[in-house]
Amino acid sequence: MNNLFLEDLNIINVGISNFYEDLKEQKVNICQVDWKIPSINKEILYKIEKLKDNKEILDKISKDNQKFIEIIENSEIEIVSMGLAKDVIPGMKENLILHAGPPINWERMCGPLKGAIIGALIFEGHAKTKEEAIQKIENNEFIFEPNHEHNTVAPMSGVITANMPVFILKNKTYGNYSYSNINEGAGKALRFGAFDEKVIERLHWIKDYMYPILKEAIEMSGGINIKSIIVQALQMGDDNHNRNKASTSLFLRELSKYLVMSSYDKNEVYKVCEHIEKIDMFNVNLVMAMCKSIADAILNHNLKYCTLVSIMCRNGTDFGIKLASTKDKWFVAPANIPDGLYFPGFSEKDAARDIGDSCITETYGLGGFSLAAAPAIVQFIGGTYQDGVDITNEMYEITDIESKIFKIPNLDFKGSPQAINILKVLEKGIEPIITTGMAHKDPGIGQVGAGLVKAPMKCFEDAFNEFLSNLE
């Protein structure tokens, strides 16, 4: 029984705005949808419609998506210890070089990534010079694999080798571990592709001094609840990708009483605290590892019908994603160049393509997806407060829930957009947006700016086609 004639009209106008304006003037209850031509092939739109018509499959999708979200909410994650990569990272070997982003071979790698690898080889003692390092690489003496395939994440080039120390996080609810390295600081650093004497020296200091001191303190603490730190930091103006000042402060605050009880030389402990104090970005490695521990818990489940995205990452050449349902498969497309504000003296032509595992934070509702919570970082990337709100609001279009854990104070504590649904991304033609630092495309120079970048739609198109073929 159609009741339209008995109700007050409550209209949605999709398309020509004249109709909206005419009716609004007459004080009719109406709202406007700003429609744009979908950038997606119509074939895919039809396939999605067909999928939605199949009630049986829709139910299964709903169930598996629900499980994904449950895992996010139930995961209790702690920083439990530290160790050297070769001792703790599953599958680590002396000749294995881990890096950020999806799989890639040496020839296709960008400048900063190559520089970081050369630096790592020098640090490990496999080579004394750049030329020697390159020769050994070209001799196929080393294997390259993504951090992600070893339960690990790291920012920018994200290069991790056998003797580098890593944080160990445990997802206490689901039993899996995740790892990330220690942040070296801004400017000339390995992760930007620098490998001069000072960089190598610092890497050694980190391994020889910072690592044992931190490890002792963390173990003394019995475990640091990183999720709780992130939740609080979000309400203190951190987006938890580009701005980690509050998060880092909370981490150091919690650890400080244990550092005070350190068995190591006071002067070395001082230097450790000083190092952390100087690095606003310090906690980004930890928030990334926290998200990774959720992602891996999800990938450990069989969620064949799940349409949600479990991993997003990039290596300076390619952008890669994984769905919860298609497990090991990577879906890859050329990475974009971020768009934003450049530091004085630099411009677009200096920027490297999007790089790093750090958009694992956006994958779970932080970073660009929480931009409304971080007015300071919006300004940093050249936008206004309202821009930040608009960007966050756009992300609600492509996610399934308002996060039960990550709340945005200035949106009245609304949960951040969480659980990226590939069907929504495709149907609405809206790509996930990421706030990121821009690296210089030449190795070793460092960050040249900060801005926004989008995940390429092609990854989602390919992922969807694979998802469909798995259902048959």
Q: Which two tokens stand for residue 342?
A: 């450049």
Q: Which is nearer to other proteins, 3 or 139 (CB)?
A: 3
Cα–Cα distance, 288 to 291 (Å, whole number): 5
| Cβ 228 to other proteins shortest distance, Å | 31
b/e code 128-165 from CB counts within 10 Å (16+ = b): eebeebbeebeeeebebbbbbebbbbbbbbbbbbbbbb
Binding site for other proteins (CB under 8 A): 1-2, 4-5, 7-19, 21-24, 26, 28-29, 31-38, 42, 45, 49, 52, 394, 396-397, 427-428, 430
Phi, psi dihedral angles at 84 (to 5 degrees): -80, 145
| Closest among 415, 417, 411, 380 to 397, alpha carbons compared | 417
Cα–Cα distance, 447 to 450 (Å, whole number): 8
Q: Which is nearer to other proteins, 16 or 260 (CB)?
A: 16
| Cβ 403 to other proteins shortest distance, Å | 17
Radius of gyration of the chain (CA): 23
| In contact, 373 and 235? CB cutoff 8 Å | yes
Angle at 361 between CA 330 and CA 280, to 5 degrees: 135
Q: Which is nearer to other proteins, 23 or 236 (CB)?
A: 23
| Cβ 414 to other proteins shortest distance, Å | 13
SS3 label, residue 286: helix
Q: Which is nearer to other proteins, 107 or 412 (CB)?
A: 412
Cα–Cα distance, 165 to 203 (Å, whole number): 10
| Cβ 30 to other proteins shortest distance, Å | 8
| Cβ 138 to other proteins shortest distance, Å | 41
Q: Which is nearer to other proteins, 14 or 261 (CB)?
A: 14
Q: Which is nearer to other proteins, 354 or 427 (CB)?
A: 427
Q: Which is nearer to other proteins, 393 or 470 (CB)?
A: 393
| Cβ 9 to other proteins shortest distance, Å | 5
> In sequence order, which residues have a C-beta less than 8 Å from that of residue 287 and are 6 or more positions away?
226, 230, 240, 241, 244, 247, 361, 366
| Cβ 48 to other proteins shortest distance, Å | 9
